């Protein structure tokens, strides 16, 4: 038998503790053990052409595989059994819709996706990853299709349904950001940026408290499921796929869709803020070159895929050994090295495997006898994974935690003062009197609570801006926006589109797509430099800074140095802009009293004749 360390031919553990039954984990740690599900797909066209036989059966949470090469009632060489039975948290039979035990996408979501959502709203990190050989149904389980969506879309949709319900009753405030990356040939690429941008080899860093993260990975603020759906579709288009002999649309990369979910509320006058990170992972399939017909580029891809999956197998084996040793006090503890950094995949999933996360693994398998070896390896791999014990904790904002601790200290001091117990003062770390200490703590709590409240009020204003809510006013449509912004005006008279660019606090860089550094506003034009100009926005004031050789003009007058911008001016930086900070499109926001007569008049813009300017008189 071909061996890779302690792993099987396709990079899976060839031995599994507890084969034939579930591992028992007792005590509080049972709540943190990795939850494992197995799902079998229908026989596909390729397997039908090979006249493949069905070898998988499922009963409740048990999965049984049959080796048809061993005669019924007999044993194979080395005492191998004809059937092997494994017990998991869930066994999903999705091979035949007519079967009474058929597991639909909805059932998988109700069993697994709801748990992820519950964990997120409780403040825990969560992770779901799908593993199996190529063509076994991983992407279908995680993403699904337009007719039958998978876990990732359903979890995102369910998240916003819950957010809307809680927001309706003012129970809490929420902020949601998403990112989407792929690991292709051991390199990390941002799927939510265009392929031509310099994002094909992002670096991984490790924060001492928050764990591994991808440097410069874009995070996108989303307000509803439609926003997520749009980003997801764009990312899936950018993902690397290719046809192999086993799968016409084989994923050639690992993909990780991450949701950063923050919620804040006041609970009995106490601020509460938690931050949850949800990793939804679609792994590339394990494969053998002879089965997939891989050559050249596909062969290199397959090698890198198997390398990362071998490392994942090593990590799972090491973590399972650690968990088993910890559960048995009679066994002498040994030092076990967990090789997280041996692959990009395992490094990024470090917290999800043995760390601060509630994790679910879905093993997808083929029911055909022609894939017996790969299927058995996957089942053993999943059986090993269920032994892993994670240590999930609620991710609380440190300032909120400090406020809670200070309030507990205030309550203690008040109790001591009420009792007249001055002896406790001797234990105080400072020489301050109890009254002074109490006043300091109360002032600090008030200050921290105010800072926290202001931060969330600012966040809600930003979220309001992100929606740019359109509202009707008569036969017109008004676009509300409170932040300084540019309104793009196309030179093409036949163009009917309007582009609005917000000017963030700090610097906003404007230039071409081929610039050395990524530009915040990407434009195209004959006179446009690769790095054309910078907008600086500080304390409500905006300055335009032309860069070397860049053509910039304000109301038709060319500028060569930093210039403060006012509301309603026309900029020309190869493309004309109308700048505004408190405007609706093309007109100023104003307020008037009952005794103020407001009249409107309009004129043709001298700089851009096709633009009609409004003003109040």
Render the burial of 464-485: b for 16+ CB within 10 Å, e for the rest: ebeeeeeeeeeeeeeeebebbb
pLDDT value, residue 269 = 62
How far apart CA 142 and CA 258 sit, in angstroms, is: 13
Residues 64 and 170 in one domain: yes
298 assigned to some structural domain: no
Given the residues 119, 139, 276, 481, select the one marked as catalytic.
Answer: 139
Is 132 annotated in a binding site? The answer is yes
Q: Is 549 a catalytic residue?
A: no
Residues 264 and 176 in one domain: yes
Is 69 annotated in a binding site? The answer is no
502 assigned to some structural domain: yes
Residues 460 and 523 in one domain: no
Is 277 annotated in a binding site? The answer is no
Q: What is the pLDDT of residues 127-170, one digit of tens each?
A: 999 988 888 999 899 999 888 999 999 999 999 999 988 877 77
608 assigned to some structural domain: no
Is 87 annotated in a binding site? The answer is no
Domain final residue pick, 468, 494, 513: 468
Q: Is 138 a catalytic residue?
A: yes
Domain final residue pick, 416, 438, 468: 468
Is 139 annotated in a binding site? The answer is yes
Given the residues 144, 285, 313, 354, select the one marked as catalytic.
Answer: 285
Quick check: 530 and 511 in contact, CB under 8 A? yes
Burial (Cβ within 10 Å: 0-12, 13-18, ≥19) of residue 542: buried
Given the residues 16, 113, 123, 137, select the one marked as catalytic.
Answer: 137
- Model's pTM, two decimal places? 0.65
9 assigned to some structural domain: no
Q: Is 213 a catalytic residue?
A: no
The conformational region for residue 550 under phi > 0 = left, psi -120 to 50 = alpha, else beta, is beta
Residues 378 and 444 in one domain: no
List the beta bridge partners of residue 272.
265
510 assigned to some structural domain: yes
pLDDT value, residue 605 = 42
Q: Is the dihedral of CA 579, 585, 591, 592 positive or negative?
A: positive
Domain that holds residue 538: 479-589
Q: Is 568 a catalytic residue?
A: no
Residues 127 and 198 in one domain: yes
Q: Is 433 a catalytic residue?
A: no
Given the residues 140, 184, 372, 381, select the one marked as catalytic.
Answer: 140
Given the residues 8, 11, 135, 354, select the one marked as catalytic.
Answer: 135
603 assigned to some structural domain: no
Residues 374 and 405 in one domain: no
Given the residues 35, 84, 138, 358, select the one marked as catalytic.
Answer: 138
Q: How many domains does the chain have?
A: 3
List the beta bridge partners of residue 600.
616
Q: Is 123 a catalytic residue?
A: no
How far apart CA 21 and CA 545 sit, in angstroms, is: 69
Is 506 annotated in a binding site? The answer is no
Q: CA neighbours within 13 Å on the CB side: how many for 345?
A: 29
Residues 229 and 276 in one domain: yes
Residues 65 and 210 in one domain: yes
Residues of the chain with pLDDT under 70: 1-31, 74-79, 171, 194-200, 241-252, 266-271, 286-299, 301-302, 327-333, 398-404, 406-407, 410, 413-414, 416-483, 489-498, 574-617
How is 86-153 classified by DSSP, letter by letter?
EE-SEEEE-S-TTSTTB--HHHHIIIIIHHHHHHHHHT--EEEEEE-BTTSSHHHHHTB-SSSB-HHH
Residues 341 and 438 in one domain: no
Domain final residue pick, 367, 390, 413: 390
Q: Are strands 35-40 and 485-488 parallel, antiparallel or unpaired?
A: unpaired
127 assigned to some structural domain: yes
Q: Is 144 a catalytic residue?
A: no
> What is the number of residues in the chain?
617
Given the residues 89, 190, 227, 282, select the one marked as catalytic.
Answer: 282
């Amino acid at each position: 038998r071909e061996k890779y360390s302690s792993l099987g031919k396709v990079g899976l553990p060839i031995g599994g503790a507890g084969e034939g039954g579930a591992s028992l984990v007792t005590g509080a740690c049972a709540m943190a053990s990795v939850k494992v599900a197995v799902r079998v797909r229908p026989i596909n066209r390729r397997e039908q052409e090979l006249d493949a036989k069905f070898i998988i059966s499922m009963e409740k949470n048990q999965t049984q595989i049959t080796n048809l090469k061993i005669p019924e009632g007999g044993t194979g060489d080395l005492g191998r059994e004809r059937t092997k039975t494994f017990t998991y948290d869930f066994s999903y039979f999705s091979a035949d819709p007519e079967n009474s035990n058929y597991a639909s996408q909805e059932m998988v979501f109700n069993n697994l996706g709801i748990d992820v959502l519950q964990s997120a709203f409780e403040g825990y990190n969560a992770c779901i990853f799908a593993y199996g050989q190529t063509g076994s149904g991983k992407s279908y389980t995680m993403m699904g299709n337009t007719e039958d969506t998978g876990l990732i879309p359903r979890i995102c949709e369910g998240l916003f349904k819950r957010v809307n319900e809680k927001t309706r009753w003012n129970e809490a405030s929420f902020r949601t950001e998403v990112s989407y990356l792929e690991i292709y040939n051991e390199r990390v690429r941002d799927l939510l940026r265009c392929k031509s941008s310099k994002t094909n080899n992002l670096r991984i860093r490790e924060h001492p408290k928050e764990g591994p993260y991808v440097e410069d990975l874009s995070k996108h603020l989303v307000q509803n499921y439609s926003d997520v759906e749009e980003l997801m579709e764009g990312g899936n288009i950018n993902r690397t796929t290719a046809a192999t002999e086993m799968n016409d649309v084989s994923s050639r990369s690992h993909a990780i869709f991450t949701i950063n979910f923050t919620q804040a509320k006041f609970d009995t006058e106490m601020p509460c803020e938690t931050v949850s990170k949800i990793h939804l992972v679609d792994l590339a399939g394990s494969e053998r070159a002879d089965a997939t017909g891989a050559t050249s580029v596909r062969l290199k891809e397959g090698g890198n895929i198997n390398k990362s999956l071998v490392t994942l197998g090593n990590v799972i084996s090491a973590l399972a050994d650690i968990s088993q040793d910890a559960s048995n006090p009679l066994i002498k503890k040994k030092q076990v090295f967990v090789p997280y950094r041996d692959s990009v995949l395992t490094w990024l999933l470090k917290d999800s495997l043995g760390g601060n996360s509630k994790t679910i693994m879905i093993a997808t398998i083929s029911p055909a006898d022609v894939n017996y070896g790969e299927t058995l390896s996957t089942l053993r791999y999943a059986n090993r994974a269920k032994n892993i014990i994670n240590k999930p904790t609620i991710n609380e904002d440190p300032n909120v935690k400090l406020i809670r601790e200070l309030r507990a200290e205030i309550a203690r001091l008040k109790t001591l003062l009420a009792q007249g117990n001055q002896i406790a003062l001797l234990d105080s770390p400072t020489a301050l009197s109890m009254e002074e200490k109490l006043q300091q703590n109360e002032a600090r709590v008030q200050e921290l609570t105010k800072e926290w409240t202001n931060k969330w009020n600012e966040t809600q204003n930003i979220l309001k801006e992100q929606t740019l809510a359109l509202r009707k006013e008569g036969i017109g449509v008004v676009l509300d926006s409170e932040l300084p912004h540019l309104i793009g005006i196309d030179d093409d008279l036949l163009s009917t589109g309007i582009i609005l660019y917000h000017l963030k606090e700090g610097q906003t860089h404007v230039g071409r797509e081929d610039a050395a550094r990524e530009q915040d506003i990407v434009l195209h034009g004959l006179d446009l430099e690769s790095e054309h100009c910078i907008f600086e926005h500080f304390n409500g004031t905006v300055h335009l800074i032309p860069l070397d050789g860049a053509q910039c003009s304000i109301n038709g007058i060319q500028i060569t140095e930093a210039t403060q911008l006012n509301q309603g001016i026309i900029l020309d930086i190869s493309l004309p802009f109308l700048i505004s900070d408190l405007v609706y499109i093309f007109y100023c926001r104003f307020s008037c009293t009952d005794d103020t007569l407001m009249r409107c008049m309009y004129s043709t813009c001298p700089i851009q004749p096709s633009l009609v300017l409004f003003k109040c008189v």
